[in-house]
Amino acid sequence: MAADKGPLHQFEISNLYEIRLENIDISFTNSALSMIISILVASVLFYLGSGKNPNIPSRLQVLVEMSYDFVANMVRDNVGNGGKIFFPFIFTLFLFILFGNILGMVPYNFTYTSHIIVTFGLAGFIFLAVTLIGIAKHGVGFLKFFVPSGVPYALLPILIPIEVISYFVRPISLSLRLFANMMAGHTMLKVFASFIVLLGFIGGWAPLLLVIILTGFEIMIAVLQAYVFTILCCLYLNDALHLHH
Amino acid sequence: MDKIKEITLKIKELKNKNVKKTIPNNKINVKFYNMAMNISIELITGIGLGVFLGLFLDNYLQTKPIMFIIFFIVGTIVGFYNMFKSLKKYGYFK
């Protein structure tokens, strides 16, 4: 029974189909399956909702167009000039995280964003890409990014190393934010859900109410974290393209 | 009588002020939760990276525990610096 297992049991990776490449284990896991499910759900929703009827749009079409507009505005406002070519990537990233977070709320579905290797993979790729874009656009001038403006010269030897380290902290904080939020939320839900079973029919109503409230809260966090991850990605891109401080 | 009316008006004003200070709905709770989470993660990652770098360099250069101490302090400074920067983004420290 799921209730006997600890609150962290839900994050366990299990092999669904074993695949080995020499000594490397590249098995198909429950995490990979939930990634495929969320990509399929997003693709089907967007295919069904893509503008077939411009005059009387269906509810799904409105939802799809609204989400497109939402991310398009986010890119326009936060990346500025030259950000348009990154829109497909940012939109895909937003949907991948959003669907991962939201479908993770479905019982028995695995939340892949609650694994730091997934979030760090995304954040590390973004960090590398943004740095390379910055270097490609500004060349050696990209190093000016580490020199804070309006600071006395005497303070620069202290501030430049701090700026450099704080730049390298970015992928860690970006990945940790999403991972910690998702993991904390799911663990909390499981802990309170186990109280329902422990307290039984008489006392279990209070934690049940709490679990219902927390589920709503967790759905809001799921959307918010997808938004935060994407907007930070946009801000980093803006920094690299325009060397803002 | 006028004084009583004045006092009741003042009490109402004070009550209204108090109401404004409290958090009215769930939406703002999520906003504050997000802000708290962001700021604490900025601090933790700074210190974490400092500790990790310090331990790695200590192992690599056999300088136990000098690099750990130096990078722990630098990491803490970076953590607070990043916290300050993200608080600035939220509109504090104008």
Q: pLDDT by residue (tens digit) across A59-104? A: 888 899 999 999 999 999 888 878 889 999 999 999 999 999 999 9
The strand pair at A20-21 and A15-17 is best described as: unpaired
Residues forming a β-bridge with A28: A17
Note the pTM of the prediction, 2 decimals.
Answer: 0.83
Query: What's chain A look like in SS3?
Result: CHHHCCCCHHHCCCEEECCEECCEECCEEHHHHHHHHHHHHHHHHHHHHCCCCCCCCCHHHHHHHHHHHHHHHHHHHHHCCCCHHHHHHHHHHHHHHHHHHHHCCCCCCCCHHHCHHHHHHHHHHHHHHHHHHHHHHHHHHHHHHHCCCCCCHHHHHHHHHHHHHHHHHHHHHHHHHHHHHHHHHHHHHHHHHHHHHHHHHHHCHHHHHHHHHHHHHHHHHHHHHHHHHHHHHHHHHHHHHHCCC
- What gap in Å lies between CA A1 and CA A24, rounded to an integer? 33
CB A34 within 8 A of CB A193: no
Q: What is the pLDDT of residue A71?
A: 93
Q: What is the pLDDT of residue A224?
A: 92
Nearest residue of B to residue A184 by CA position? B37
Inform me whether the pLDDT recorded for A45 exceeds 80: yes
Candidate from A165, A177, A181 with C-beta closest to B78: A165
CA neighbor of A115 nearest in space, from A125, A126, A100:
A100
Q: Is A220 in Cβ contact with B30 (below 8 Å)?
A: yes
CB B61 within 8 A of CB B78: no
186-245 of A, contacting B, C-beta below 8 A: 217, 220-221, 224, 228
pLDDT band, residue A1 (cuts 50/70/90) = very low
The shortest C-alpha distance from B27 to chain A (Å) reads: 9
Q: Is A165 in Cβ contact with B74 (below 8 Å)?
A: yes
- What gap in Å lies between CA A172 and CA A116, rounded to an integer? 10
- Under 8 Å CB pairs connecting chains A and B tally to 50
Inform me whether the pLDDT recorded for B6 exceeds 70: yes
Q: Is B74 in Cβ contact with A173 (below 8 Å)?
A: no
Number of structural domains in chain A = 1
Candidate from A162, A172, A173 with C-beta closest to B81: A162
Q: What is the pLDDT of residue A243?
A: 82
CB A239 within 8 A of CB A135: no
From the CA atom positions of chain A, what is the Rg in Å?
22
* Identity of the amino acid at B60: Y
Candidate from A169, A181, A220 with C-beta closest to B82: A169
Q: DSSP letters of B9-28?
A: HHHHHHHHHHHHHS--SHHH
- How confident is the model over A105-119, as pLDDT tens digits? 998 889 999 999 999
- What gap in Å lies between CA A220 and CA B34, rounded to an integer? 11
Q: Which residues of A touch B81 (CB under 8 A)?
A: 162, 166
Q: Is B49 on the interface with A (CB under 8 A)?
A: yes
- What gap in Å lies between CA A148 and CA A157, rounded to an integer? 11
Q: Is B42 in Cβ contact with A173 (below 8 Å)?
A: yes
Residues forming a β-bridge with A17: A28
Q: What is the pLDDT of residue B23?
A: 52
Inform me whether the pLDDT recorded for A204 exceeds 90: no
- How confident is the model over A126-180, as pLDDT tens digits? 999 999 999 999 999 899 888 888 888 888 888 898 889 889 999 999 999 999 9
pLDDT band, residue B76 (cuts 50/70/90) = very high
Q: Which residues of A touch B45 (CB under 8 A)?
A: 169, 172-173, 176
- How confident is the model over A11-22, as pLDDT tens digits? 888 889 888 888
Q: Is B48 on the interface with A (CB under 8 A)?
A: yes
Q: Is B48 in Cβ contact with A166 (below 8 Å)?
A: no
pLDDT band, residue A3 (cuts 50/70/90) = low
In angstroms, the first-to-last Cα distance of chain B is: 46
SS3 state at B90 = coil
Q: What is the pLDDT of residue B27?
A: 57
The shortest C-alpha distance from B88 to chain A (Å) reads: 12
CA neighbor of A118 nearest in space, from A25, A224, A34:
A34
Q: Which residues contact A92 (CB under 8 A, 6 or more apart)?
A: none
Range of the domain at A122: 2-242
pLDDT band, residue A215 (cuts 50/70/90) = very high
Q: Is B37 in Cβ contact with A165 (below 8 Å)?
A: no
pLDDT band, residue B28 (cuts 50/70/90) = low
Nearest residue of A to residue B44 by CA position? A173
DSSP 8-state symbol, B94: -
Query: ipTM of this predicted complex?
Result: 0.71
Average pLDDT, integer, range B78-84: 91
SS3 state at B62 = coil
Q: Is A161 on the interface with B (CB under 8 A)?
A: yes
Q: Is B51 on the interface with A (CB under 8 A)?
A: no
Look at A31-40, A194-203, B17-26 and tell me which has the smallest mean pLDDT. B17-26
